[in-house]
Amino acid sequence: MKNMHLSFILLFTVFIASAQINPQYIEAAGQTTYQRDVKHYEATIRISNTTTYGNDAELALENRKTIFLQKLDQLGLDRNQVHIGDTAKNEGSKNRQHTDYVVETTDENEIEKIQSLGKIDSWSYKLHEKVIYKPLTNKSDIISKALEDANKNAEVIANVIGQKIGKILVVSDYNYEERPDSAFYTKEDRTYRIVVRFAIN
């Protein structure tokens, strides 16, 4: 809330500076919160034929892949949750070979289990992880609420300077949180942000 107040003060300051020359519009920020529904969580686990430490067992890549799948079974994870990653990315040098396994789940309780697959030994490690979200089905409602908020904030500015806002001239969408995936797993509400330019009557 403190940051929003600062943003409005800055927008108001910009307007006052330009109003001395050609005060034709007011810009105001608007925002609303919304939730993303998780489609699934996934992590990519790399199994390599190289070792980091000298005390690691010298096993062929195929043997290490077998150990990986056995660990998967021990954790109670279904092998149908696993698929080989993009083969183009799995090509290594003659002496350095690896296989990337992508493990997916829709169960929060399995996330730590999947992460542990990257800690079997130094030849297995988590390459990356991400959360895949379902597409927004109520985007128009979300934008409408953000627009209402921007309208309310613009009216506050207009009242201060003795003006009235008119029609909308420009809407700028500053929502950067609608990506289909994220590197972070969170249940927190997201914030949809826009900036709206209103004509002055």
Q: Is 200 exposed, middle or buried (0-12, 13-18, 19+ CB in 10 A)?
A: middle
d(CA 101, CA 77): 13
Measured in degrees and rounded to the nearest 5, phi and psi for residue 180 equal -70, -15
- What is the per-residue pLDDT for 93? 57
- What is the per-residue pLDDT for 194? 95
d(CA 64, CA 100): 12
- What is the per-residue pLDDT for 12? 46
Closest to 59 in 3D by CA, of 129, 146, 122, 142: 122
- What is the per-residue pLDDT for 144? 96
- What is the per-residue pLDDT for 91? 57
Structure tokens at 62: 């195929």
Q: In 10 A of CB 45, how many CB atoms?
A: 27
- What is the per-residue pLDDT for 189? 80
- What is the per-residue pLDDT for 36? 84
- What is the per-residue pLDDT for 137? 86
Instruction: Enumerate the domain spans of the chain.
Output: 2-36+135-200, 38-133
Alpha helix (H) residue ranges in the chain: 2-19, 61-74, 111-116, 139-160
Instruction: List the chain residues with pLDDT less than 50.
Output: 1-2, 4-6, 8-22, 55, 88
d(CA 90, CA 97): 8
Helix (H) or strand (E) run with residue 106 in it? none
Q: Per DSSP, what are the bridge partners of residue 58?
A: none
Residue 43 CA neighbour count, 13 Å, CB half: 21
- What is the per-residue pLDDT for 32? 95
pTM attached to this predicted model: 0.65
Please list, in sequence order, all residues whose beta carbon lies within 8 angstroms of the beta carbon of residue 47, skipping any fewer than 6 positions away.
61, 64, 65, 68, 98, 99, 100, 101, 123, 124
Q: Which CATH architecture has domain 2-36+135-200?
A: 2-Layer Sandwich (3.30)
- What is the per-residue pLDDT for 70? 96
CATH code of the region 38-133: 3.30.70
**Cα–Cα separations (whole angstroms), residue 182 to 34, 116, 175, 185:** 16, 20, 14, 7
